Structure formats: structure tokens, C-alpha cells
Structure 1
């Protein structure tokens, strides 16, 4: 079975993929990582996307299907640019927050807020933006309430210093861009841009908000499995 690597968002963890792991594991070897500074992983040594991508690339000793949500999609993009991968899936993701000084400042301001109010209050404030569904919002908030300052600070800095826009045309692997129709964080238009700039990429707009893989797991899983099956079939043809 081919490997699948799941990379979570800046406020998430491996728990963010609880609705994907078992489904994918029926056909693939699956790893949902806790990024450096998240879950039980040690604090990060650096704060740049290239370093996170290099760390992620070590997980498998062969090319994998890489699925990244939000910040995880930014890591996945760099991983696909610098390492062999089987396919790339960018879910509710972005080019990075270095696309403008204002966007970078907003990302860094999150760290100030987290430092000031603590993880629990920070999660309570941010979770409603990720999903309007009460059950999903509660899960997102519970996961985000466990973020560690060192991990979040490095992740935010890696986002603030990244703009993959000029590099998207270099991606040469099958790519799926999927986004929740009600995403208020990165937004549908950003996903449209990614799909437009990555050669041959396909765009799927599904239900849900920024946490679409958690809010609408059935639809998300169907779209993802269909894409991975097509890639696998093409490899074997």
C-alpha cells in the first residue's frame, strides 16, 4: 500500500484528521503527524517552511501522497517542490502569509494574542471562524486549546515569511485543491488561485468552512479518495 502523509493546520494536530485516518488506512499506509511543537513532538529548531518540509520528508523512505490542511498545505507545497511525492492535496490552504506586509503582520499578531490570553481563550475566540457547526467548532476549540506557544510561534513565523505564489508553476505532480464553500480564513478565492497557478490542478468546492475535512468528512473523504484512486490507477497503467 502506498503511503499518505497528513499535515495539520496551525491550530490543529494529528487529531484534526480523526475522520480521515481509518478511511484512508483501508487502502494506504497513513501517518498524521504532530508537527514540531505540537502534540508530543519536541519544540521546533527553526521557524521556516523549508525546515518543516524537510522534517516531513523524513517520515517515509519513499514518495507519498501528501495532504495538507491550511498551514499544513503550505508545508506540503514546499515538500512537493523540493522532494518526490506521488500527489499533492491542498485543503483550505494558501500561498503563505508572506504575500503582503499586512498579511504577515496579521499572522504574527496571532502570537501576541496567544501570549496575552493563553491557549484556552485564544481557541475560544478563533474557533468560530473555522466552523459554524457547533460540534465541529467544539472539536476545533478543544484541539486548539492544547497548542504550545513555542510551536505556534514558529509555525506563525514560517507562514509570515512564505509566499509560494511565484513557485506554484513549478509543481509537476497531480494536485487536488479542495476548499469549504464557507471558508472565512483562507477563502475560496485563494484556493481558486492555487488551482489556477498549479499546472493541471483540479479544484473542488465542498461544504463546510475552514475546517471542512472535520465539518464535512464524508464529502471530503469521497473527493480525496476519488483523487488518490485516479492517481494510483495512472501510476499502474
Structure 2
């Protein structure tokens, strides 16, 4: 089933006008699976999931506020603002959703589940961390990225960072696709808001322990960005979680090994939502 693109109607409960939010959608039935991309990407990162998982669920992937085809926020955005905008999108799509977040998207997803537990049926957190606020050096490096983007421009910035997001054995076509997606998705001030939201966040303080939704945590075994230990640390404080290593995958496991990744996600959904086998 092919994906469709549309803008969302506005919602008074959101800090962001949803009329300016671009989403890609696929699937006509089943529960909603909301997909939140990483800090250097867009809804394009979920092309494999839009194509495959849409046979079982309604897949909704956003361009975060200030990214790709979504409008810039009117005011500076915090992690709470990104989470509250995702909450408004879930309410618009029916009131509850399973939430899949990759990297920065996983940090948003955990904050969303902590702030709006009534909206989150389950979580899938992939190649993520507790935020850059867990370490002053990491926070400083994260904040510096916006200046690097302003100085280098999106294309040069993407060519510098894109190849590290996949394993060293990743095919050239995937490296190019990841790099092109980053170059097309990033701009200021949205990227600055995103990096600041990461730099200011340590989910260990309160968020992880507050999450009650069943959670699947995945990480590529060759993740060179957040790494296995950072993602595994999330499970220590989560109330109900399962941890999975995705073999032969870097930081973008959902793109590099989509068959294995989607199989784990579907198994999680079948347990938490009763998704049936395809006919």
C-alpha cells in the first residue's frame, strides 16, 4: 500500500499549528503507529515501515516542526513542545497510538509517554538514549551542531555526518539516501531547537520511571552514534521493557535492516495490540 502525504488540521491543544505539520501516512485499518524520526532526518526515514507495517496498522510519520516540509514553529521549541505536538497529532488521529521513535525521536517518544500516558498504547524506542543532558560534554557538543549547520550549510553538514549513521558495511546507495535525506530535511531554527531539546534532557531524572506503556528497545549492534550501552541503559528504569540487538545494523537500524527491525516491531504490536497474522 503506498503512502500518502497530507497536512493536518490545526488543534488548539498543540503549541504548534498542526496545519503546518507534514505527515506521510499509509494503511487503512488497525491502530495508529506514530513514527518520530531522528535529529538529522524526516518522515523519509520510515519508507520501509510505511511500505511494510501498513499492512497491519495505520502508519503515520511526521516531519517534526521546523524540519523538511513542516513549517517552522512560531516560537522556540522545547522537548515538551515536540512531545505535546505529537500528542495533538495522536488526538487528531483517534486518541491513542503506538509510538515508534528513532534516536532523538525516541527521546521525544519517552517524554510523550510520560506526559500523556493516556495517549500511548506502547513504545518502540530505537537506537536512542536518555538525552545529551546526561553528560556536560555531550550537551555542549550537541548544542554546537546548530553552529556547524549554519557555517557549513545542509549539504556539506550532511555529507560529514551521514555516513556515520549506518554501519561501515552499509551499501553506498543507503549511505547516499541517508545523506540526501539529511540535506533536504535540516534548516534553522528547527535544528537548533532540536539540538537544544536534546542537550537539556536527561530522561533518567523522572521520565523513564513514569512510563507505564510496554516498551520495545532496539539497537543496531554497530551503532556508532549512541551505541548499545546508551540504549540498553533505558531499560533499567522502564517499568516494562524488552531489549533487542539488531544484527548488522548501525544507528539507523530501521533503514539498514528493515526486515529484521519490522519483524520485531510487528511482534511487539501483536503482543500489545493483538495484531493478527496477514491473510
Q: Which residue among 149, 162, 177 is the counterpart of 1:114?
A: 149
Structure 1 residues 120-173: Cα deviation after superposition (integer angstroms, max 9, x where no partner): 000001012101312221111001111112111110011111111122112111
Which residue is 1:96 aligned to? 131
Which residue is 1:210 aligned to? 251
- When the two structures are aligned, how many residues end up with a matched partner? 234
Q: List runs of 5+ in structure 2 lacking aligned partners.
A: 1-29
Which residue is 2:88 aligned to? 58
Distance in 1, Cα, partners of 2:90 & 2:111? 16
Deviation at 1:23, TM superposition (A): 1.4
- Indicate the structure whose relative CO is greater, using CA pairs within 8 Å and at least 6 residues apart: 1
Q: List runs of 5+ in structure 1 lacking aligned partners.
A: none
Which residue is 2:217 aligned to? 177
Which residue is 1:4 aligned to? 33
Deviation at 1:19, TM superposition (A): 0.5
Structure 1 residues 163-214: Cα deviation after superposition (integer angstroms, max 9, x where no partner): 1112211211100000000001111001110122212211000020001110
TM alignment of 1:116-155, pairs within 5 A: 116-131=151-166, 132=168, 133=170, 134-146=172-184, 147-155=186-194
Deviation at 1:109, TM superposition (A): 1.2
Aligned with 1:43: secondary structure? coil
Aligned with 1:6: secondary structure? strand
Structure 1 residues 52-89: Cα deviation after superposition (integer angstroms, max 9, x where no partner): 00001111221100000000001100100011210011
Distance in 1, Cα, partners of 2:131 & 2:62? 20
Moved >6 Å (runs of 4+): none
Aligned-residue RMSD, C-alpha: 1.2
Aligned with 1:176: secondary structure? strand
Aligned with 2:59: secondary structure? strand
Which residue is 1:14 aligned to? 43
TM alignment of 1:13-92, pairs within 5 A: 13-44=42-73, 45-61=75-91, 62-83=95-116, 84=118, 85-92=120-127
Aligned with 1:72: secondary structure? helix
Deviation at 1:220, TM superposition (A): 0.5
Q: TM-score, normalised by structure 2?
A: 0.82
Structure 1 residues 77-118: Cα deviation after superposition (integer angstroms, max 9, x where no partner): 010001121001100011111112111101011111111111
Aligned with 2:51: secondary structure? helix
Aligned with 2:40: secondary structure? coil
Q: TM-score, normalised by structure 1?
A: 0.96
Q: Does 1:161 align with 2:196?
A: no
